[in-house]
């Protein structure tokens, strides 16, 4: 009996998440109501409130899941050289491609700006503790350099998503890696 309830809970949460993402493709979270969310998910409001306090809580849970996945993913690698950095970037870009609809919605104009900021902070911490340490970046530069690198990478990825992923994940990862490691000197 308990297993059946767990499956039902998982299913309910899944449909609510999918419904919210669908609504966010059309309008900002501030315009989404619990009523329309429940109608789209074919779930009654009391069931919704069993799981979430409101639509913002549901959005936060979706973002937390992605952030947790990303942290686990990043922690499974250690950047030790440029080649390893490229492999990690490629895996991250592949992860984004595999979940492109979710990222497309959460990073678009209707998405939550806090999601992008959360993604940046995760990546910044990872870069500061791994890549910068290995490259002996002075501490007073590390915060600014990591912000520069991560915001550039995120904006390249956003542009890639907006352009219907017109390049392969490998091409995007190579570009990001090249921009990060060589800066503008690669143009010479």
pLDDT along the chain (188 residues), means of 10: 74 94 91 96 95 95 89 72 72 86 83 80 69 60 78 90 93 89 67
| Cβ-Cβ contacts under 8 Å for 7 (sequence gap 6 or more) | none
CA–CA dist 176, 187 (Å, integer): 14
Pure H helices in the chain: 2-24, 34-41, 45-51, 55-75, 82-98, 100-106, 113-129, 131-134, 139-162, 169-182
pLDDT at 104: 87
CATH number of the domain at 60-187, please? 1.10.357
Q: 3-class DSSP state for residue 79?
A: coil
Closest to 29 measured CA to CA, from 52, 7, 46, 47: 52
| CATH code for the structural domain at 2-52 | 1.10.10
Please give the pLDDT value at position 127: 65
Fold agreement between 2-52 and 60-187: no
CA separation for the pair 102, 17 (Å, rounded): 10
* pLDDT of 134: 59
Q: Quick one: pLDDT at residue 83?
A: 63
User: At which residue do the structure tokens 């609809």 appear?
Assistant: 101
The per-residue pLDDT for 115 is 85
* Domain ranges, ordered by start, for the chain: 2-52, 60-187
Closest CA to 78 of 136, 149, 130: 130
pLDDT at res. 18: 94
């Amino acid at each position: 009996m308990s297993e059946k309830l767990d499956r039902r809970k998982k299913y309910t949460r899944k449909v609510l998440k999918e419904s919210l993402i669908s609504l966010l493709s059309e309008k900002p979270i501030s315009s989404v109501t619990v009523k329309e969310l429940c109608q789209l998910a074919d779930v009654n409001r009391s069931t919704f409130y069993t799981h979430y306090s409101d639509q913002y809580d549901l959005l936060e849970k979706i973002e937390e899941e992605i952030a947790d996945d990303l942290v686990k993913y990043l922690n499974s690698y250690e950047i030790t050289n440029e080649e390893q950095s490229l492999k990690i970037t490629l895996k991250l870009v592949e992860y984004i491609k595999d979940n492109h609809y979710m990222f497309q919605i959460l990073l678009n104009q209707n998405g939550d700006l806090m999601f992008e900021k959360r993604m940046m902070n995760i990546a910044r911490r990872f870069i500061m503790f791994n890549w910068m340490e290995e490259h002996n970046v002075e501490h007073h530069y590390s915060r600014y350099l990591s912000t520069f690198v991560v915001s550039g990478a995120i904006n390249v990825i956003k542009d890639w998503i907006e352009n219907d992923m017109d390049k392969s994940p490998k091409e995007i990862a190579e570009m990001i890696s090249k921009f990060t490691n060589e800066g503008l000197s690669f143009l010479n």
